[in-house]
């Protein structure tokens, strides 16, 4: 494991503790463990950002291991209350990761707001695997490029655009809660940036760029940055901002 994968001593200790417990479950069958997300791409916010990890196993996860992981994550949340609901770990086999473009595979995952569960993951995870492959920090195992097949910049940009379309399709089911709106707005800023430049940056960097490029949306984007920092503030009218948030998503899809 990298001795100090992040600039935060307590988070480094947390990740080391989690890796140790995952290794106890899989032993030598844990082929790789990687850190990605805002701790890697930049603009990590201790008050609201998640810790994003992926564990790659040499074989498929069986029911016994799934139950062991579920119990481990429940205990881990009890021991680390500050980070409860803010740790995402995806577990999948090396074979599934290698073939993700061609077919869907079972992937066990714990993510913010959801219990440990199994999903079917495939090409819809391309954006995540692109980030892991290009910028992931190795905590155990080989370089992620040895496990994840090549992903072209064109494939990544196309996936980002499809992500925006998915948001647009669900626009009338967008969560009203302001932090959820902030996440949508800042994600759309990143869609705009990537669509224009082909590059990947953090949500905050994309937001600052979008405020200059699209001054008509600068006030809304600035509000989203404030909402992200003040996510615990409940003394607000969450629904009041929703129409403009929806309008911004429509603009991103069809500027």
Instruction: Specify the higher pLDDT residue, 44 or 68.
Output: 68
Task: Return the minimum-mean-pLDDT range out of 49-53, 57-61, 98-102, 111-115.
Answer: 111-115
pLDDT at 3: 78
Tell me how far CA of residue 65 lies from CA of 68, 72, 79, 174, in angstroms.
5, 10, 21, 35
pLDDT value at 201 more than 60:
yes
Q: How many CB atoms lie within 10 A of CB 120?
A: 10
pLDDT at 229: 66
On the 0-12 / 13-18 / 19+ scale of CB atoms within 10 A, 245 is: buried
Backbone torsions φ then ψ of 117, nearest 5 degrees: -155, 175
Average pLDDT of span 199-206: 90
Instruction: Give per-residue pLDDT as tens, 61-78.
Output: 999 999 999 999 999 999
pLDDT band, residue 27 (cuts 50/70/90): very high
pLDDT at 233: 57
What whole-number distance in Å separates Cα of residue 244 and Cα of residue 177?
Answer: 14
pLDDT at 231: 53
Contact 76, 15 (CB under 8 A): no
Average pLDDT of span 89-114: 95
Looking at residue 238, the DSSP 8-state letter turns out to be G
pLDDT value at 112 more than 90:
no
Contact 166, 173 (CB under 8 A): no
pLDDT value at 232 more than 60:
no
Average pLDDT of span 103-128: 93
Average pLDDT of span 194-215: 94
Instruction: Give per-residue pLDDT as tens, 142-198.
Output: 999 999 999 999 999 999 999 999 999 999 998 888 888 998 999 999 999 999 999
Q: Which of 152, 134, 156, 108 is nearest to 34 (CA)?
A: 134
Instruction: Specify the higher pLDDT residue, 54 or 50.
Output: 54
pLDDT value at 25 more than 70:
yes
What percent of the chain is predicted at pLDDT more than 70? 96
Instruction: Give per-residue pLDDT as tens, 233-250.
Output: 556 677 888 999 999 999
pLDDT at 45: 82
pLDDT at 49: 84
pLDDT at 44: 87
Average pLDDT of span 88-93: 97
């Amino acid at each position: 494991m990298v001795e100090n994968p992040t600039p935060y001593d307590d988070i480094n200790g947390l990740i080391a503790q989690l890796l140790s417990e995952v290794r106890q479950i899989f032993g030598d069958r844990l082929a790789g463990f990687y850190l990605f997300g805002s701790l890697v791409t930049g603009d990590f916010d201790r008050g609201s950002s998640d810790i994003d990890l992926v564990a790659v196993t040499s074989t498929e996860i069986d029911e016994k291991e799934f139950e062991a992981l579920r119990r481990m994550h429940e205990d881990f949340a009890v021991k680390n209350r500050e980070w409860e609901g803010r740790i995402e770990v995806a577990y999948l086999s090396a074979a599934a990761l290698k073939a993700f473009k061609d077919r869907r595979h079972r992937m066990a995952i714990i993510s913010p707001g959801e219990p440990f569960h199994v999903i079917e993951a495939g090409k819809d995870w391309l954006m995540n695997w692109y980030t892991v492959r290009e910028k992931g920090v190795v905590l155990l195992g080989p370089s992620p490029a040895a496990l994840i097949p090549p992903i072209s910049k064109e494939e990544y940009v196309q996936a980002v655009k499809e992500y925006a379309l998915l948001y647009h399709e669900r626009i009338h089911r967008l969560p009203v809660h302001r932090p959820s709106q902030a996440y949508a707005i800042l994600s759309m800023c990143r869609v705009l940036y990537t669509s224009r430049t082909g590059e990947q940056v953090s949500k905050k960097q994309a937001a600052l760029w979008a405020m200059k490029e699209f001054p008509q949306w600068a006030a809304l984007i600035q509000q989203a940055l404030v909402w992200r920092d003040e996510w615990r503030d409940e003394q607000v009218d969450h629904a009041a901002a929703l129409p403009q948030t929806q309008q911004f998503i429509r603009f991103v899809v069809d500027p």
